[in-house]
Structure 1
């Protein structure tokens, strides 16, 4: 993939830009193998662990969510990042974003200018509009979020909302997020929905072995960055789960319920756990629409939920999909000492994945698959299947 922003040196976020894509994927596979070598040895050596072919992605146009800093001035807003002097750098034509997002960003820049929303000046700590966050669904619909410093700008947004919807009719959900503090975070706690529709339906493509439940994305909910690869991640996990065929299952760190919704089957008791109440609302809506009576979701801390479980409440299989820090010592120790027979561990950080596997010596690595969720960067997703020895 070729990128003018990278070539001009104005953005270096995609650290692998210009490297042959096949080499990028191979390097990620080799790095994952190197990091998991102790787990492979503990499982009985290379012959005991099945490494499935890596899942690749389109090299460009894959990123379904853009987190864009708004800089510059009202007359000349930038939508992109900040440089080393905290000045706005415009990236509205970023090539890793989906086509729908690339089409939307110039329209949103025009909207900032027309509505008079003052971009936030980080060094001076003045201004109102900090970020524009845009997510595109597989159907081409958009969730657009304006991160503002104060609620005083809400009347202005509402006043110009009709013009925005006319210029960008696929923006089916528009919100304002309030972030009054000057700190290095992307969003605040309060969200104001400005449209009648509150969720963005995420209808992933079905695979030969996997149904395609509609997942609902609310503004403060996590969804996988790469829609194409996410569908294959859920399909792979579901295939492994069906092979084991547990009567009961937990999906910890479940987000909007991707693994749970894809793995739910009649008679299989499935519970999804996630700290975000907005994500749990989304997951519950998806389960109701799909008529999945044996699937429930709860807003809770994954580790605390596990520690409270006793006896028959412990499932046969657990899916974990933690943030980059991994599941940590307490949850790993609980899994090691529990009666859980199988674990599907999906990780965006093979370093912490290897560390967590070392804490669970009774859970033997059986299968691994690398998924290139983040082309042009060094990041990756790895999904593993563990059996109790």
Structure 2
């Protein structure tokens, strides 16, 4: 296979980066612009030892799942990579990803992965928007003050670059995010505010983050700056408030959204880190509130909170189902974050103990327990693999919930869990590959996979969550099924 050669390729799969996958003469070819089910004339653009890349010259036969993208930025923005595939096709694809990795990496061949639980309306689902702000080269005017030499861009990065695509509309963000981005752009151009340049470390404005409480309508705007203050901040607050108030009323004629918090975040560090450690409340409250089911959660600028509240309830309901709680169990919630999953389970458990290595998250978790009047849940600061054998060595855990980051569970943590010998393990994963790796380890320790349920938390993107239920069947691998 050589550069420039052309082949007819049947696309049989897709990668998480959005490229179609086919095979030519035994070699895997990643084809930009193709989706599963396409049959295309492909030109080879790159050849490596074990794979090649190509581009579509002509679609000979279109996939039955192919659609025209609804977003006008689909060819530029790197946020949604599956806009040429209908939603049904995305759900099938994500089910296949989970199944393939469990078989190939985890060696799980006797479990049928359930169809992916999707959304009825897979739009406007994100309650958190994270906008990088970018401008052209900074220049000095005749007074020696820094000014941008072109209007600023607020939006999302182009694929595999740090170039910002200015997006005035986004089909997956909540409405407050759009109008607040517009308010910041107006503020920058009206007041001549400088925008941060990562190459030379100059400029003030870095990022805009918007958090929206879907159940309460409360909105928080976080403005990240390369400095200790922001000039004319009162004007920015005024523009933001007007922007949110301009949004349409709900079906009852009432204000759907309300700007409750404007926060200045100080980040003077060079590099890609988005938030700094210090926050200054410019207007309103330092936190906002949202609800999941019957629970209320306090959301701070730096706290983690699932970005799709509709699917969050679907996910958590599945966790509760798999945990099979009767009110007599002690539940260990590891990688607990701000405690959302454990608190969601608390009413059906005897006791919930959460462990988290981020101190601010532990404070949020314990505060959320108090807010909801939950007295049978406690949250401990530290690494689970260290806390379990020291502080909780005498605790009999009936159910362990694992909700690790994309990198999966620490090997020492899995060893500590196996020593606890819980009756059930519920694993919540955001990466099927690390999920499969960890399940293989737990399987070697005597646990069998009983159910696998993918949940689509991020429609139109290459991400999928999965909830796995495992039960203890003894150390003999023959008995794992």
CA distance 1:271–1:239, change in 2 (3 Å): same
Indicate the SS of the match to 2:180.
helix
Structure 1, unaligned stretches of length 5 or more? 207-211
RCO (CA 8 Å, sep 6+): is it higher in 1 or 2?
1
Aligned 1:378-389 pairs, distance under 5 A: 378-389=462-473
Distance 1:295 1:74 in 2: 54
Determine if the alignment matches structure 1 residue 370 to structure 2 residue 454: yes
Determine if the alignment matches structure 1 residue 201 to structure 2 residue 289: yes
The answer to whether the Cα contact below 8 Å between 1:54 and 1:370 also exists between their aligned partners in 2 is: yes
Residue in 1 that maps onto 2:52: none
Residue in 2 that maps onto 1:209: none
Determine if the alignment matches structure 1 residue 328 to structure 2 residue 410: yes
Distance 1:310 1:127 in 2: 49
Deviations 1:269-316 (A, max 9, x none): 111222333322322222112211111123322332223245422422
Residue in 2 that maps onto 1:71: 134
Distance 1:314 1:199 in 2: 36
Distance 1:363 1:330 in 2: 17
Aligned 1:170-181 pairs, distance under 5 A: 170-181=258-269
Distance 2:82 2:358 in 1: 33
Q: Which residue of 338, 353, 370 maps to 1:271?
A: 353
The answer to whether the Cα contact below 8 Å between 1:74 and 1:117 also exists between their aligned partners in 2 is: no
Which of the pair is proportionally richer in helix? 1
Q: How much has 1:319 moved relative to structure 2?
A: 0.8
Residue in 2 that maps onto 1:112: 188
Aligned 1:162-177 pairs, distance under 5 A: 162-168=238-244, 170-177=258-265
Distance 1:76 1:59 in 2: 32
Q: Which residue of 175, 199, 213 maps to 2:295?
A: 213
Structure 2, unaligned stretches of length 5 or more? 1-68, 136-147, 246-257, 474-481
Indicate the SS of the match to 1:194.
strand
Determine if the alignment matches structure 1 residue 81 to structure 2 residue 150: no
CA distance 1:257–1:310, change in 2 (3 Å): closer
CA distance 1:82–1:354, change in 2 (3 Å): closer
Indicate the SS of the match to 2:394.
helix
Which stretch of the first structure deviates more once superposed, 24-33 or 132-141?
Answer: 132-141
Distance 2:339 2:243 in 1: 33
Q: How many residues align?
A: 376
Q: How much has 1:184 moved relative to structure 2?
A: 1.5
Which stretch of the first structure deviates more once superposed, 117-126 or 369-378?
Answer: 117-126
The answer to whether the Cα contact below 8 Å between 1:74 and 1:112 also exists between their aligned partners in 2 is: no
Indicate the SS of the match to 2:442.
coil
Distance 1:276 1:41 in 2: 33
Distance 2:149 2:280 in 1: 23
CA distance 1:255–1:115, change in 2 (3 Å): farther
Structure label with greater radius of gyration: 2
Determine if the alignment matches structure 1 residue 98 to structure 2 residue 182: no
The answer to whether the Cα contact below 8 Å between 2:106 and 2:439 also exists between their aligned partners in 1 is: no
Aligned 1:203-352 pairs, distance under 5 A: 203-204=291-292, 206=293, 212-243=294-325, 246-265=328-347, 268-352=350-434
Distance 1:149 1:322 in 2: 31
